[in-house]
């Protein structure tokens, strides 16, 4: 209000409020019975509404306090709901500034003699590998460019990959820090990959069409703020002409790829196929796949964005390693669609993972990181990236992941990937 109307209208309202309070105080006497009754009614309704925040969408179970505060506003609109939401945001443990860490994860045992000049990590959104042509989907050619590269042997398509979580807030930090389903404190206690990259002489850029604040985004917004250069949908967006459209990132990507710095770590975080899928589709996708549903068209669009980013990398960087993987999968073939679905099963975890590099070394490394069930969990990606950034990882650490496969589900509980909750 202060920002949009200046100081006078709020002042008038405040004076009016004080006047009414004073009048009430003068005219009425305190009746304990009425006060008690009001308190009881209010606390019953509030408790009921708090429980309802979990029932709002029967398929999801909310556990994050600020996320529940967000839903509570639907039941308590106005000042009451706003106050509760603001309080939950304030007390949420996600809400903290990006201060430098001193502690380094014990898996790092030293530096390697060589490191990659340019590392590009592209994080997708809600991309389900089961609908990518590169992964054998035949109904529509959803990923023509990546399929072409893979057919020519210029792209490594890593099969059987799943994410470490089924929602963005939990999944993205697992790619860029030592945060894992069973090691959640590491996000805030240890150096993340951006800090480690900077320590080893890399210029770091975070280019994102997603936000970095609020109950859904803060954990990766927190990470983004360790970068030398940041642009997000909610951070330096207007001067860089960036919004939620992934196309709006391309001019910034080109500018950052043209940097003279010898070592660079680029993180590009896309909006990809986040619902509504219809919004993620452009004219080209409708022309290319007229019979496909909106979700498949949105994958086609991301394929084109990847094509454009790779063209820019070829033009400006030449020597680079590029990784693309989605934060989590998406349920698109069942009656309930989406992700962070409590009883939604594995599709919301199955993700595409592409590696583009001059050698097949990283592809082989990824293969060697599979667990005993043949799965590659996306939490292993940090070790791949650390090797690119010139860090030597303890052999025993990598082996320690072999015999188990946990994921952090949207209800905040850690499950074995083969024993996700079901009805
Ligand atoms: Zn996501």
Q: How many angstroms is it from 7 CA to the middle of ligand 1?
A: 40
Q: Are residues 36 and 78 in the same domain?
A: yes
Asked if pLDDT for residue 159 goes beyond 90, the answer is yes
β strands within 133-187, DSSP E = 156-157, 161-162
End of a domain among 24, 59, 91? 91
Residue 282 token pair: 């452009």
Identify the domain containing residue 152 by its residue range.
114-419
Q: How many angstroms is it from 159 CA to the middle of ligand 1?
A: 20
Gap between the Cα atoms of 182 and 77, Å rounded? 37
Gap between the Cα atoms of 316 and 307, Å rounded? 14
Q: How many angstroms is it from 250 CA to the middle of ligand 1?
A: 20
pLDDT digits (tens, 9 = 90+) for 180-225: 999 999 999 999 999 999 999 999 999 999 999 888 899 999 999 9
Residue 337 token pair: 């669609």
pLDDT at 10: 84
User: How many domains does one find in the chain?
Assistant: 2
The residues, ordered by sequence, that sit 6+ positions from 201 with a Cβ below 8 Å of its Cβ are 262, 263
Q: What is the mean pLDDT of the chain?
A: 93
pLDDT at 183: 95
Q: How many angstroms is it from 129 CA to the middle of ligand 1?
A: 14
Gap between the Cα atoms of 197 and 191, Å rounded? 10
pLDDT at 325: 98
DSSP code string of 340-354: S-TT--STTTB--EE
Gap between the Cα atoms of 309 and 209, Å rounded? 14
Gap between the Cα atoms of 103 and 123, Å rounded? 26
pLDDT at 197: 98
End of a domain among 59, 91, 123? 91
Residue 145 maps to a domain:
yes
| Whether the Cβ atoms of residue 136 and residue 359 lie closer than 8 Å to each other | no
Q: How many angstroms is it from 43 CA to the middle of ligand 1?
A: 35
Q: How many angstroms is it from 189 CA to the middle of ligand 1?
A: 24
Gap between the Cα atoms of 286 and 4, Å rounded? 41
Q: How many angstroms is it from 36 CA to the middle of ligand 1?
A: 45
Q: Are residues 394 and 248 in the same domain?
A: yes
The candidate with the shortest Cα–Cα distance to 270, out of 260, 280, 278, is 280
Please list all protein residues whose beta carbon sits less than 5 angstroms from ligand 1, which is an ion. Answer: 125, 168, 327
Which pTM was predicted? Answer: 0.87
Q: How many angstroms is it from 274 CA to the middle of ligand 1?
A: 7
CATH number at residue 150: 3.40.720.10
Q: How many angstroms is it from 268 CA to the middle of ligand 1?
A: 14
pLDDT digits (tens, 9 = 90+) for 244-301: 999 999 999 999 999 889 999 999 999 999 988 999 899 999 999 999 999 999 999 9
pLDDT digits (tens, 9 = 90+) for 18-76: 999 999 888 887 788 999 999 999 889 888 877 777 655 556 666 677 877 887 777 77
Q: How many angstroms is it from 416 CA to the middle of ligand 1?
A: 20
Q: Inter-axis angle of helices 168-176 and 381-388, to 10 degrees?
A: 40
Residue 107 maps to a domain:
no
Place of tokens 């305190």: 30
The number of CA neighbours under 13 Å toward the Cβ of 360 is: 10
Q: How many angstroms is it from 251 CA to the middle of ligand 1?
A: 23
Residue 270 maps to a domain:
yes
Q: Are residues 305 and 409 in the same domain?
A: yes
Asked if pLDDT for residue 3 goes beyond 80, the answer is no
Q: Are residues 40 and 153 in the same domain?
A: no
Q: How many angstroms is it from 167 CA to the middle of ligand 1?
A: 5
Residue 355 maps to a domain:
yes
The residues, ordered by sequence, that sit 6+ positions from 320 with a Cβ below 8 Å of its Cβ are 116, 117, 118, 119, 120, 313
Gap between the Cα atoms of 166 and 262, Å rounded? 36
Q: How many angstroms is it from 262 CA to the middle of ligand 1?
A: 32
The candidate with the shortest Cα–Cα distance to 371, out of 305, 306, 416, is 416
Q: Are residues 223 and 370 in the same domain?
A: yes
């Amino acid at each position: 209000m202060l920002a949009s109307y200046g100081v006078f209208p709020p002042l008038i309202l405040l004076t009016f409020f004080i006047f009414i309070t004073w009048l009430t105080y003068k005219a009425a006497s305190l009746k304990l019975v009425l006060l008690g009754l009001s308190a009881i009614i209010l606390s019953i309704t509030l408790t009921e509404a708090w429980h309802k925040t979990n029932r709002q969408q029967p398929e999801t179970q909310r556990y994050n306090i600020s996320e529940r505060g967000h839903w509570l506003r639907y039941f308590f609109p106005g000042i009451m709901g706003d106050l509760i939401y603001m309080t939950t945001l304030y007390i949420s443990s996600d809400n903290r500034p990006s201060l430098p860490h001193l502690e380094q994860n014990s898996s790092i045992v030293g530096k390697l003699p060589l490191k990659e000049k340019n590392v590009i990590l592209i994080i997708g959104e809600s991309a389900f590998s089961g609908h990518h042509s590169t992964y054998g989907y035949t109904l529509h050619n959803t990923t023509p460019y990546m399929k072409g590269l893979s057919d020519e042997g210029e792209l490594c398509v890593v099969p059987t990959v799943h994410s470490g979580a089924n929602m963005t807030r939990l999944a993205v930090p697992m790619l860029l820090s030592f945060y894992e389903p069973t090691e959640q404190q590491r996000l805030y206690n240890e150096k993340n990959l951006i800090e480690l990259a900077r320590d080893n002489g890399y210029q770091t850029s975070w280019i994102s069409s997603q936000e970095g604040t609020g109950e859904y985004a803060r954990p990766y917004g927190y990470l983004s703020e360790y970068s030398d250069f940041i642009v997000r949908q909610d951070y330096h967006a207007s001067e860089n002409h960036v919004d939620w459209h992934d196309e709006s990132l391309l001019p910034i990507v080109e500018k950052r790829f043209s940097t003279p710095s010898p070592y660079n770590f680029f993180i590009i975080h896309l909006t990809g196929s986040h619902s509504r899928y219809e919004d993620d589709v452009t004219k080209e996708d409708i022309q290319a796949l007229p019979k496909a549903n909106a979700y498949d068209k949105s994958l086609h669009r991301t394929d084109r964005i990847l094509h454009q980013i790779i063209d820019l990398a070829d033009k400006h960087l030449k020597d680079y390693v590029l990784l693309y993987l989605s934060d989590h999968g998406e349920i698109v073939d069942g009656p309930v669609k989406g992700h962070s679905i409590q009883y939604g099963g594995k599709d919301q975890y199955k993700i595409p993972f592409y590696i583009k590099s001059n050698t097949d070394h990283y592809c082989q490394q990824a293969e060697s990181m599979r667990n005993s069930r043949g799965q590659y969990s996306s939490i292993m990606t940090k070790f791949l990236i650390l090797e690119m950034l010139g860090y030597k990882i303890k052999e025993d650490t990598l082996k320690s992941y072999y015999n188990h496969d946990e994921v952090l589900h949207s209800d905040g509980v850690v499950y074995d990937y083969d024993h996700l909750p079901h009805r």
